[in-house]
Chains A and B, each alone.
Chain A
């Protein structure tokens, strides 16, 4: 059983937002709905200031609070690590939106709080998520952490990585390369 994860090297990001648009095309989303976003942060003090662009999306947490609070198990975690939504079970209470520490859920026109699906249905056939393949700077690496020969496993061993809001205890499966790491 694969265990999917993503590694993001924010230092490589130019902020072109191609990842967001590729995702919107892949899932045919309206302009106001997007599954990944870019956060811009400034670091350092003048004159040594730099801007870092941090892509943020559903973290497919190992302890997903959105799945814990869902009254109908509409949000669930698969054995391969993906956190998905069964639309037919969702009552639209938005408890998952409230519970998400990363503000990544967006309610669509059908009343479903949507989010990144790690391109389920596409990756099982050997494909890569379009946010990964469209990026000109290879900011994102997606793959199976249980496969020691995969690109993500290799880079995770080589690089110094961290996760967003780790103190919340959700154990995200999206990792970030530390600056200079």
Chain B
């Protein structure tokens, strides 16, 4: 236990550095980020998409496990709620820092634009957050409440709708052709479940071991199966997208695909996204062993984070054709600043600190 508490100093320090990053962003605004007029969305948007999608994935696994009654996943019911809450709050903090004027958010309510994807995503994730609070509350106060099943079903619908709308924000940005279409809403739903399973494995291992409890191998096996299936599907999705875009005959699509396959993002795409994020975890969980599964989960989380960054960057660094025949640069430049790294690391730290707090303060074991 003491050893575990000492380990918690690491996320504590990271959260403090992230706080310094947030202050720096507050003072220097856009200058604190690597973004520009031609690459307006950077790693903080990717980070928000990562945390919001992972929160949704965790929630979906918990809710489906509970409703289906499968013993291995049903035991995750309460933990998935609280982990989902920790991840979602971290994501919201990240997007709050990214926004230029977060105090104007009240206008999302009093001056709504129903045509905007961001408006719908804000609406659905707010509903999701409220439902999460209700579910967390009742899981502690009155877990046998009959209405909880109905809340759970509504929560599943809101989770799927919220994460698909998050994908649709990109899909509906018609000027960024690489993001367009039905691909990303489906892909983000799929990889939300992938990152959700990985986050659950890691949190169960860390908090379980820390409390001296044995980690339930049935639960870990079920989660690693979910990871394996979603990795295979994600590989197929990625291969399909790259092949289609490369052979589409549309230059903007071909250029964006080339950015990932052989351009400036190639090392990260092949190294972090494909090898670390998908192939190594797949090989590790091929034979079940707790340590291998935990390493696979860490690799998946790293891979999915870079998956989000790469997707957002590939859609922006290929210059738009505004005036036919004019191209100043081959690619627009973007690199993450220390502020962005600090905030992303801080979001990971904040979610782990929050979840550890929940694990300590609340009873997250099912049936107690």
Contact = CB atoms under 8 A, between A and B. Distances in A.
Q: How large is the interface on A (under 10, 10 to 19, 20 to 34, 35 or more residues)?
A: 35 or more
A110 interface: yes
Contact of B316 (A42, A43, A88, A98): A98
Interface in B304-326: 316, 320-326
B115 to A, nearest CB: 5
B71 interface: no
B82 to A, nearest CB: 29
Interface stretch (A69-77, A123-131, A145-153): A69-77
Contacts of B118: 69, 71, 93, 95
B122 interface: yes
**Residue among A43, A74, A98 with most chain B CB within 10 A:** A98
B100 A111 contact: yes
Interface in B101-121: 101-102, 104-105, 107-108, 111-113, 115-119
A40 interface: yes
A88 to B, nearest CB: 7
A72 B100 contact: no
A107 B100 contact: yes
**Residue among A40, A89, A109, A110 with most chain B CB within 10 A:** A89
Contact of B116 (A42, A70, A164): A70
Contacts of B143: none
B169 interface: yes
Given A89-B104, A98-B40, A101-B322, A111 B112 contact: no
Interface stretch (B2-10, B171-179, B193-201): B171-179
A105 interface: yes
A92 B175 CA distance: 19
B111 A165 contact: no
A65 B175 contact: yes
A84 to B, nearest CB: 14
B29 interface: yes
Contact of A91 (B30, B105, B112, B322): B105
Interface in A104-142: 105-107, 109-113
A56 B116 contact: no
B234 interface: no
Contact of B101 (A41, A42, A73, A91): A91
A111 B29 contact: yes
Contact of B99 (A69, A93, A102, A109): A93
B184 interface: no
**Residue among A94, A106, A112 with most chain B CB within 10 A:** A94
A80 interface: no
A99 interface: yes
B311 to A, nearest CB: 13
B41 A98 contact: yes
B112 A39 contact: no
B38 interface: yes
B322 A56 contact: yes
A179 to B, nearest CB: 12
Contacts of A91: 99-102, 104-105, 107-108
Contacts of B30: 107, 111
Contacts of A103: 37-38, 320, 322
Contacts of B119: 71-72
A90 interface: yes
B101 A99 contact: no
A164 B320 contact: no
Contacts of A39: 322-323, 326
B175 A72 contact: no
A160 interface: no
A10 to B, nearest CB: 9
A97 B40 contact: yes
B107 A89 contact: yes
Contacts of A68: 113, 115-116
A90 B113 contact: no
A39 B325 CA distance: 10
Given A74-B107, A105-B37, A69 B322 contact: no
B327 to A, nearest CB: 9
Interface string B211-239: 00000000000000000000000000000
A107 B107 contact: no
A54 interface: yes
A101 B322 CA distance: 7
Interface of A: 39-43, 54, 56, 65, 68-74, 88-95, 97-103, 105-107, 109-113, 164-165, 168
Given A39-B322, A41-B326, A69-B172, 6 more contacts: A71-B122, A91-B99, A92-B100, A95-B173, A106-B37, A111-B30
Closest 5 CB pairs of A and B: A92-B100, A111-B100, A72-B107, A97-B40, A71-B119
8 contacts: A39-B326, A90-B100, A91-B102, A95-B116, A103-B38, A105-B40, A107-B100, A111-B30
